[in-house]
Structures are given as C-alpha cells and as structure tokens.
Amino acid sequence: MSKHPLPSNYAPEDVETRWRAHWQKTNPYAYDPNRDRDETFVVDTPPPTVSGSLHMGHMFSYSHQDFIVRFQRMRGKNIFFPIGWDDNGLPTERRVQNLFNVKCEPHVHYDPNFKAERGRKGDPQPISRKNFIELCDVATKEDEEVFRHLWKRLGMSYDWDQEYATVNDHCRTISQLSFLELLEKNEVYQAERPVLWDVDFRTAIAQAELVDKEVPSAYHFLRFGIEGSDEHVVIATTRPELLPACVAVLVHPDDERYKQYVGKNAVTPLFQVPVPIMADPKADPEKGTGVVMVCTFGDQTDVEWVKTYSLPTRQVLDRDGHMLPIKFVQSGDTEAGNRFVSLNPADANRNYAQILGKYTKQAQKLIVALANEMAGVIDRPKQDIMHAVKYYEKGERPLELLPARQWFTRILDHKDALVVQGRKIAWHPAHMASRYENWVLGLNQDWCLSRQRFFGVPIPVWYGLGENGEVLHDKVLVPRADQLPIDPLDDVPEGFTKEQRDVPGGFTGDPDVFDTWATSSLTPQIATGGPLNPERHKKLFPMDMRPQSHEIIRTWAFYTIVKAYLHENQIPWKNVVISGWILDPDRKKMSKSQGNVVTPEPLIDQFGADCVRYWAGRARTGVDTAFDEQVFKVGKRLATKMFNAAKFVLGRFEGIDPALLGPERITHETDRAIIRELRPLIERATTAFEQFDYAQSLQLTEEFFWGTFCDNYVELSKPRTYEEELSEGRLSAAATLRLVLRALLRMFAPFMPFLTEEIWHWAYTNDADMNETIHRSPWPTLEEFAAVKEPSHAETYQIVCTVVEAVRKAKAEKNLSMKAPVKKVVVTATSKLAAALTPSIEDVNGMLHIQELQTKQEKVETPTVDVFLVTD
C-alpha cells in the first residue's frame, strides 16, 4: 500500500476500507508464542452464539474488549486474543431442522454418504446424531461468516489464527476430557432424582437456566374429607390437576384450627385417596388456608417433604407434560407402579379418565370443571392471582419436576470454596462480585450436566447391559483419552464389538449431550489447548481478562470458575470486565422478541466503525445504556474534528526537518505550559485504562483534545506557526503541535483505530515502511516529554485562558467578530507573574488582534484582566 494523498474531506468508508484491507495483509495483531508470560496479556474471549441474531449489544460489548486489548498492546504487551464461535445448543438445532428438514434420531446410525438437501419437502428425514452434527457444522459455518464480517468491520483486533468453534473436534475433546477427569475425581456423578424438566424440549435443565415469569393463576379451594368423620379441611391450591399425586396433607404444629386432625387421614376429593395429615413447621398458617397438600413432584418443597417423610412416589406426568395412566385400586391390593389405593376406585378411575393423557393446563381446566359439578368438593369460588412460575429461559411452558437419571457436577459441596475463588478475582465494576457471590450462596442443586438433546457434545460413556438387556448404570464404560472425541452412539467401547450394541450382555451408549455451558465453561482451556497442550496452557492460564455481560455471571462466569477450581484449584482469570446492556430509549432491554432491535451494520454504514466504537466507549463498565443515536453524531463530529485538526497541524510542521522538532525545541512559555497540562492527562488516562476504565480515559482525552488543544492552544500557537523565519518561537510551536497531536492520536487509537491509523501514516511513519502501525506504537508516557522544561509559571496555561476568555467575552457581548481589533488589554498581576506571562500574552495578542498590551504590576492575588474594545 502506498501512501495515500491527504483527502480533502473525512470519508470514514474510504479510510476504514483501506486500513481493514491493509491489516488483513500485515496481521499486526498476531500473538507471539515466544514471548514471556509477564509480557503477555491473555483474554478469554466470549464466543458469540452464531445462530443467534446480531444486535447492537454485540458491537457494544465487543468494542469494550477491544479498547482494553489495544491499550495493553500499545503498552508493549504480547496479546493473546483468540476468537471463537459458540455453535452448540438449541438455536443451532432449530436452524438446522428448518434449513434441511431433518430431525435427529439418536438411534439412527451414521450414514457417511448422507447428502442433505436444502428446502427438502415432505416429512422431516430422521438422521443420526453424527449426521445431524455434520449439518450443524455446515449451517454454523455460514453463520460464523456473518459474525466474522462484522468483527472485521468493527475493527476487532483478534489474532484470526487463533480461531475456534465450540462444536469442532478440539472443543469436543476438551469438553469430554474435562468430564472424564471430573468423573475420576468423583466430582461428577449420576443420580436418579426429580429434576427441572422442560416438557417442550423434553430435557432436564440446570438451576442457572431458570427464569421466573409472572403469569395469571388462581387458588382453587378444595375440601378434603377427614377419614371416618363428616368433617373436612379446605386446602387452597394453584395446581388442582396434581391432586392425583397428593401423598400427604400438612399443617403447622401450632395451628389451633387443625391440631385435632394431625395423625388422622385426609381423603382427597374426586379420587378418594386417604393420605396422612401431618404437622410440619414449614407449613405456613398464613398461606392459603394453612393446609397444604403435598404432591410428589409439585415443587421443590414437595420434593423435600416427600424425602423427609419417606412418602410414596406418585408420578402423574410424562416427559411431555401429559397425565400418565393411573389405576386406583381397593385397599388390600398392592400399591405399586401407578396403582394407588382409593376408598372408591370406581369413581376415582372414572374421574381420572377425563384427564388421562391431557396436558397439565387442559387437565387443570377439566378437573376444576369436574369439581364444580360435584357437590361438596369446591368450598368457595376460586381466587384469581398473579404469581411467578418457573420457566426454562428458552421455554414457553412452565417447568415441571420429573424424576430422571442425569449426570451432575458437584457444586453444593464447594460453595464456600467457590465464594473464596470469586474474591480472588477483580471484578469491574467491583459491585458485580456480589452478583456472583449471591448466586453461589443461593445455589440449592448440583449442576445438572446432561441434556436430552442432540446437538452438543456427547456424554462420552457407555453402560453395560444386563442379561435381560437392562441398562446397568453402575457399569460405566469410559473411553481412553486418546480416543476422544467420541460419540458413544457410533463408537464402540473397548472390549466390545459393534454387534454387541443394545443387545443383552452388550453395551449401550449414553444418548445425552452436555449442557452447552459444560463446554463454554472451558473457553480458557479450549483456547490454550488445556490438557492437550500442557505447556501452552501452563503459560497462558490463569488468564488476565474475561470480558462478558452481567446476565451470564451465574452461568458463564460461574461455571468457568467451577471448572478451573475443580480441575486445577485455580482461578481462571484475574479480571472480569462486565459490559452493560443496550436498552432502548424507554429503558427496556433490546431484544428480538420485543421488536426493538437496531441492527448493527447500517449504523456502521452511516457513521463508520470508529463512531460506533466511540459510542461504545462512552459507556462505563457494567452500566446499562439507553440507545441514543445522538451519541453517534457526537462521535462523527469528533472524528471530523480530528481529521481537520490533524490536517491543519500537520501543515504547520510539514517541511520542517523532524530533527528540529524534538521535545528540546519546546522553549516558548505557552508551549511549555500546554505540555504541563498534557502530563496529568497522560497519567490519568493511563491509570484509568490500567483499571479497565476505558470510558474515563476516552473522556479525559476527548476533553483535552477539543478544549485545551483545538480551541485554545492551536489558536494561540497559530500566529507563530505562520512566521516566515524558522524562528525559535515557530519551531517551538511546530514541535509542540507535532508532539501533542502525536500523543493524542495514540490515546484515541484504541477507540478509533481506523482514523488514528490514517493520520498516523500522514505524518508519523516512514513512508517506505508500511508495516508500521499506530496500534503497535508505544502508549504515550511522561518520559517522552521529559526533555520539555516546565513553564516559568505553573499556572500559565490557566491564566492565559482566563485572558483569552475575557477578551472573547468582551467581543461576544458587543456582537463583534473574533478578529475585530481590540484597542487595549490590561493584565494586572504581580511583577514576577507579569514577566513570566509576557510571551504568552503576546500569543493572545496575535490570536485576538489586540493593538496594545499592558501588564500592570501590582500585588494582587490573582491576575485581573481589563479589556478596552475599539469604540467608534
């Protein structure tokens, strides 16, 4: 690329396209594996979910990462900043099903010759999990391209050689290795127990994936008879359809209303099932009627009570949320399976027949209708309420609790240790640490790892089969590490042949896949190579920074901390940097379902990537920000200003031998004074950035650039730069302009990488060497300006600005042009100060066209300025 002629107008499209292409060729962001760890800054990049939609939040939070990375790079750090794509999970499954009209059937075998057909008509074609995953690869490749394109346009400084996708062999191997290691350490285990179950996705989920939704509901007041008497108690329930699963009735031990019934049996309405009435302090007399029916899998408390009192298990829902077949039998018949003792089996069975096979919601309607028809069941009219119900975050119907065999990772045992780990990490902003801690302390279940889905990393185990073909869950067959990744539905365990699959005495593969977080929690190991590349892992882990948003503290951050702890007793990174959300102007979260999403690319088209990044840079860590297009306009103005200012400044020193423009040439009072102002800016902007506060750094730099530099200094120095002779004053001004702009450009570079690179190459690099880049140039330091002497008075710059302001104000009040001549300005100051200021006051004269200057020497604390305008 040859040096570009100075364009007359700032056209972001042109500038950005050229530099994007140039960086693509020169790869200035490559990671150097040979440099030491203490010179390296390691980022645990968030892999975006590629099958999800692109939105403003992406550009927002990814810009934040890049600011910090670019700063660290300019500080001389070797940057490890990989990029990954998260393709696991439900969004991809759904996309592939629609795209190719297929469905995954875990028990169909792999067909190596299978060819998918886009937009195929007819019924979905059943294919094996392996074939399905191959299709996911095809689809996600296309989705990745969309993100890759955006990241490049946005100017993300990734090392594109360190790219990964969470579904590729490497990631599946890392994920399966992690599982096997934790299995060996007894940190994962399988158990059959009630789990949170989504009836649409037909899978178990983890506590971290729960969300509450406020939904309309109602209390139904049902009369339970007291066995052997005419009395009854009334219970209030929101789930009358679970009545067949009722196994006990509880009251508070001190509740005078019901004390007399404890020890007796209640009889459920409609089904006439006798159940014990027991006293339990957890029964709240204030809630409902103070009487609670315990259903085997009603809610978490029910599950606890069933366990505490060894109550019988009555499963009434299947995995789709339908009412299971149940038979009510006479007392004396054995109660087993779904046979429950009833005082009146005939009525009970007739009533149950009405709801058999129905989905819960419909069953509820029917059972309420039935109760209303029958005398003595309903005690009083239902009471409508709104209450929060647990949902899977991606689900559309309420979760149920169902008994199922699942794999779990132990986390309850490690709660305290995990809190300690969290405290070893610096959270930015700091208060985000309490979100983590809150979450850890509130955990009440181990991490459910297995999902009854298809697209994901397979759980790498098989089970032996018994004589009768029953699955022997105790007989877990594991692969060797060097066999990974495996799919137990296609691969065969050692010591078996493929003919022995699913036959008595043979083996069967675990049909489940991991929770996507089981893999995502390993992004550090995926990037370093983890156990597959111990040398490199040791060098890069723990990492320096994890950037992410706050809603996934309980998932991504938490699980990553869990894995690092369980595997290595380590923290995964030293810093977590949290980005907020983009809210729409009404302060609602922008999301696709809300229809308030602004798509990213048109904004880049309109304003340029630098402006979009500027917009992101204005938001502090962790702070949710209302989307405000005004900010883009401000960014655009800043870019234009920078473009114009740079062009001008460059013209002021162009053609002068750079050897004459070093810091030692800065001899003039005003010039030394602005350098004195620049020093604290460099210090503060640097400190802010070191503390991950990019927004503060940007704000300080912007203020200095616009106010101190452009509006005042450039004007003050202008007359001297137009002198014909290469006088000391002119050289001093030219050197100052050159060096201050050079520092400011670098301080803007992390935010506006395209424009700053452009300007950098106009003036600050060797023409021949196009490998030079502002992005690998050193971040400004005080040492650069060490050769510049202090001004003779510490407050010169401020006082000069006061004088300027006074003159400007006087002119503005008379509606005069700034170039209107001023008859006289009198600055009253102490003699020492007046003497010190004289050279700078000369600059003011030149700038504001003052005909006569007087410095009056008096003993005043602060200088005063009197302005005498020309009056006709």
Partner RNA sequence: GGGCGGCUAGCUCAGCUGGUUAGAGCAUCUGCUUUACACGCAGGGGGUCGGGGGUUCGAAUCCCUCGCCGCCCACCA
- Which residues ranging from 286 to 305 are in contact with RNA (CB under 7 A)? 287-292, 298-301
DSSP run (H or E) holding 57:
helix 56-74
* Residues between 13 and 52 with contacts to RNA, criterion CB under 7 A: none
**Cα 541 to Cα 522: distance, rounded to the nearest angstrom:** 12
Decide: 383 and 218 in contact? Cβ < 8 Å: yes
Closer CB to RNA, 41 or 713, in the complex: 713
Give the β-pairing of 246-251 and 292-295.
Answer: antiparallel
Q: Which of 231, 664, 728, 813 binds RNA (CB under 7 A)?
A: 813
Least distance in angstroms from the C-beta of 168 to RNA: 30
Q: Which of 211, 503, 726, 860 binds RNA (CB under 7 A)?
A: 211
Closer CB to RNA, 163 or 683, in the complex: 683
Closer CB to RNA, 127 or 645, in the complex: 645
Least distance in angstroms from the C-beta of 427 to RNA: 10
Place of tokens 């290795």: 177
Q: Which of 25, 380, 587, 592 binds RNA (CB under 7 A)?
A: 587
Closer CB to RNA, 572 or 608, in the complex: 608
Give the 3-state secondary structure of 594-648.
Answer: HCCCCCHHHHHHHHCHHHHHHHHHCCCCCCCEECCHHHHHHHHHHHHHHHHHHHH
Alpha helix (H) residue ranges in 787-830: 796-813
Q: Tell me the per-residue interface mask from 301 to 330 with RNA, x by CB under 7 A, - otherwise.
A: x-----------------------------
Q: Which of 384, 817, 859, 872 binds RNA (CB under 7 A)?
A: 817
DSSP run (H or E) holding 144:
helix 129-154
Least distance in angstroms from the C-beta of 802 to RNA: 10
Closer CB to RNA, 229 or 630, in the complex: 630
Does 438 contact RNA by CB under 7 A?
yes
Least distance in angstroms from the C-beta of 171 to RNA: 26
* 3-class DSSP state of 501: strand
Does 387 contact RNA by CB under 7 A?
yes
* 3-class DSSP state of 845: helix
Closer CB to RNA, 337 or 651, in the complex: 651
Closer CB to RNA, 163 or 624, in the complex: 624
Q: Which of 22, 808, 824, 856 binds RNA (CB under 7 A)?
A: 808
Q: Which of 809, 823, 851, 860 binds RNA (CB under 7 A)?
A: 809
Q: Tell me the per-residue interface mask from 649 to 678 with RNA, x by CB under 7 A, - otherwise.
A: --x---------------------------
The pair of three-digit structure tokens given for residue 105, joined into one six-digit string: 């059937």
Closer CB to RNA, 623 or 786, in the complex: 623
Q: Which of 29, 147, 258, 439 binds RNA (CB under 7 A)?
A: 439
Counting residues that bind RNA (by CB under 7 A) gives: 81
Distance between first and last Cα of the chain: 59
Q: List Cβ neighbours of 419 (8 Å cut-off, separation of 6 or more).
A: 437, 440, 441
Orientation of helix 609-617 relative to helix 753-763, angle to 10°? 120
Closer CB to RNA, 149 or 387, in the complex: 387
Give the β-pairing of 543-549 and 573-579.
Answer: parallel
Binding segment (CB under 7 A) for RNA, from list 222-230, 331-339, 359-367, 807-815:
807-815
Least distance in angstroms from the C-beta of 292 to RNA: 4
Q: List Cβ neighbours of 739 (8 Å cut-off, separation of 6 or more).
A: 661, 663, 666, 675, 784, 785
**Cα 520 to Cα 86: distance, rounded to the nearest angstrom:** 8
| Residue 424 identity (one-letter amino acid) | K
Does 394 contact RNA by CB under 7 A?
no
**Residue 451 Cα to chain centre, angstroms:** 23
**Cα 499 to Cα 501: distance, rounded to the nearest angstrom:** 5
Q: Which of 94, 107, 282, 475 binds RNA (CB under 7 A)?
A: 282
Q: Is 324 exposed, middle or buried (0-12, 13-18, 19+ CB in 10 A)?
A: middle
Place of tokens 């919601």: 361
Does 381 contact RNA by CB under 7 A?
no
DSSP run (H or E) holding 135:
helix 129-154
Q: List Cβ neighbours of 293 (8 Å cut-off, separation of 6 or more).
A: 224, 235, 237, 243, 246, 248, 249, 268, 275
Decide: 296 and 306 in contact? Cβ < 8 Å: yes
Least distance in angstroms from the C-beta of 431 to RNA: 4
The dihedral built from the CA positions of residue 548, 551, 556 and 558, taken in this order, carries a sign that is positive
Closer CB to RNA, 787 or 860, in the complex: 860
DSSP run (H or E) holding 161:
none
Instruction: Give me the half-sphere count of Cα atoms (radius 13 Å) on the Cβ side of residue 332.
Output: 4
**Residue 180 Cα to chain centre, angstroms:** 28
Does 435 contact RNA by CB under 7 A?
yes
Least distance in angstroms from the C-beta of 439 to RNA: 6
Binding segment (CB under 7 A) for RNA, from list 35-43, 54-62, 470-478, 814-822:
814-822
Closer CB to RNA, 330 or 438, in the complex: 438
Least distance in angstroms from the C-beta of 552 to RNA: 10
Alpha helix (H) residue ranges in 497-608: 516-520, 523-528, 534-540, 558-568, 600-607
Q: List Cβ neighbours of 798 (8 Å cut-off, separation of 6 or more).
A: none
* Residues between 98 and 117 with contacts to RNA, criterion CB under 7 A: none
Closer CB to RNA, 364 or 625, in the complex: 625
Least distance in angstroms from the C-beta of 849 to RNA: 9
Binding segment (CB under 7 A) for RNA, from list 434-442, 483-491, 666-674, 741-749:
434-442
Q: Tell me the per-residue interface mask from 589 to 618 with RNA, x by CB under 7 A, - otherwise.
A: x----------------------------x
In this structure, what DSSP letter does residue 343 have?
Answer: S
* Residues between 617 and 636 with contacts to RNA, criterion CB under 7 A: 618, 620, 623-626, 628, 630-631, 634, 636
Does 380 contact RNA by CB under 7 A?
no
* 3-class DSSP state of 312: coil
Q: Which of 637, 789, 823, 832 binds RNA (CB under 7 A)?
A: 637
Does 444 contact RNA by CB under 7 A?
yes
Binding segment (CB under 7 A) for RNA, from list 96-104, 187-195, 640-648, 742-750:
640-648
Does 805 contact RNA by CB under 7 A?
yes
Closer CB to RNA, 554 or 613, in the complex: 554
Does 850 contact RNA by CB under 7 A?
no
| Exposure letters 466-484 (e unless 16+ CB within 10 A, then b) | eeeeebeeeeebbbeeeeb
Q: List Cβ neighbours of 657 (8 Å cut-off, separation of 6 or more).
A: none
Least distance in angstroms from the C-beta of 135 to RNA: 33
* Residues between 228 and 267 with contacts to RNA, criterion CB under 7 A: 236-239, 250
Binding segment (CB under 7 A) for RNA, from list 592-600, 654-662, 702-710, 770-778:
702-710
Least distance in angstroms from the C-beta of 254 to RNA: 13
Decide: 13 and 636 in contact? Cβ < 8 Å: no
Closer CB to RNA, 13 or 502, in the complex: 13
Q: How crowded is residue 659: how many other Cβ atoms within 10 Å of its Cβ?
A: 7
The pair of three-digit structure tokens given for residue 404, joined into one six-digit string: 């199922």
* Residues between 718 and 777 with contacts to RNA, criterion CB under 7 A: 718
